[in-house]
Structure 1
Amino acid sequence: MTVSEAVRPIHSPRPEEPDGELIRAAIDGDRRAVGSLLALLRPIVFRYCAGRLGGTTRGISSADDCAQEVLMAVLLALPRYNYRDDSFLPYVFGIASHKVADVRRNLARDPSAPVPDPEPDQDGPWNPTFEEVEKADRSRRMSRLFKFLSAKQRDVLVLRVILGFSAEETAVALGMASAGAVRVTQHRALNELRRVLREDPGFADGLALF
């Protein structure tokens, strides 16, 4: 056993996460297991993509498309996937990270690409409330702040802050050596964001960094 294996946290899947039995059944081609696995992964993957791409209408639309591509990639890869304990979520997040990077490149190349308007509800046209507009503005600024971080730092903050993972769960999901490594990465990421906010106070309005 290596030192990193010795300190690696023991992970018990949350109720909303796939367990080893379901993953193995899906790999073996059980259609019901495949459907259940993708259903469990979809909200996790979508929230990850949305956290990385921002909370604007454009970001949410892109996150939904991105999540679909991630799930399709997982589906196609399942028959060839060699399952090991605690290896599946890091694998999925690895795919998601690459897909998010692809989406970011595409958005940068064509920032004017149209995004569908929100669907109207039964009461008439979509009219955002002040709170919804304010939340979208905060999400835009947070997305801009994330550009100052490394990919690993962004992933840690998304999982810890947006998805609410513990340090131990984040270590498992990202394939990091220990919960301590997660906390160090999170600490450095927050310090970097605080530095940016000190240099440009305009970013800070309405944003809280814990």
Structure 2
Amino acid sequence: MGRVGRSFAAADDLARDVLLAVLAALPRGGDSGRPVLAFVYAITSSRVDQATGGETGAGGPELRRLLATLPETQREVVLLRMILGLSADETAEAAGMSSSAVRLAQHRALQRLRGSFGVE
């Protein structure tokens, strides 16, 4: 997603769709018990996948190929921490995990990726 020529129309349309989906999915009265960031992240992730066919453009084809080798949770943690630059606490809130689980998933993901390059 991003600019096509001089226009950000596709990204703007997607942002509007995400906002409408979040507003439509907001719990009616009361707290669902789920952190707001995790709620919004889940909707956004789903909408971006739908709009891009799962190709978000994060890095080049080699990075996408390497990330595809990771289990979903590890891939999500790496994207949130390394690509988006969220802290462990922010990632934990977005993913609905504890901070220690985020750090463990990140450690395991990086070990797996190092193994792909023969680096231990």
Q: TM-score, normalised by structure 2?
A: 0.69
Change (3 A) 1:87 1:185: same
User: 1:124-162 deviations in whole A, cap 9, x for unaligned?
Assistant: xxxxxxxxxxxx8x5332122211122221221122112
Change (3 A) 1:196 1:103: farther
Given the alignment of the two structures, is residue 180 of structure 1 paired with residue 85 of structure 2, yes or no?
A: no
C-alpha distance in 2, partners of 1:190/1:180?
15
Q: Which residue of 2 aligns with 1:74?
A: 22
Alpha-carbon RMSD: 3.3
Letter in 1 for 2:66: L
Aligned residues: 111
Look up the SS of the partner of 1:198 in the other structure: coil
Q: Which residue of 1 aligns with 2:111?
A: 191
TM alignment of 1:119-158, pairs within 5 A:
138-158=59-79
Structure 2 unaligned regions, length at least 5: none
Look up the SS of the partner of 2:60 in the other structure: helix
C-alpha distance in 2, partners of 1:93/1:80?
19
C-alpha distance in 1, partners of 2:80/2:107?
14
C-alpha distance in 2, partners of 1:79/1:170?
22
Structure 1 unaligned regions, length at least 5: 1-49, 109-135, 200-210
Query: CA contact under 8 A between 1:86 and 1:172: conserved in structure 2?
Result: no
User: 1:173-202 deviations in whole A, cap 9, x for unaligned?
Assistant: 2110x2111011001111122222339xxx
Query: CA contact under 8 A between 1:90 and 1:173: conserved in structure 2?
Result: yes
Change (3 A) 1:67 1:149: farther
* Greater relative contact order, per chain length (Cα 8 Å cut-off, separation 6+): 1
C-alpha distance in 2, partners of 1:187/1:107?
24
Equivalent of 1:83, from 31, 50, 54? Answer: 31
Q: Which has the larger radius of gyration?
A: 1
Q: TM-score, normalised by structure 1?
A: 0.43
The percent of aligned pairs where both chains have the same amino acid is 43
Change (3 A) 1:180 1:88: same
Equivalent of 1:159, from 77, 80, 83? Answer: 80
Look up the SS of the partner of 2:31 in the other structure: coil
C-alpha distance in 2, partners of 1:174/1:76?
21
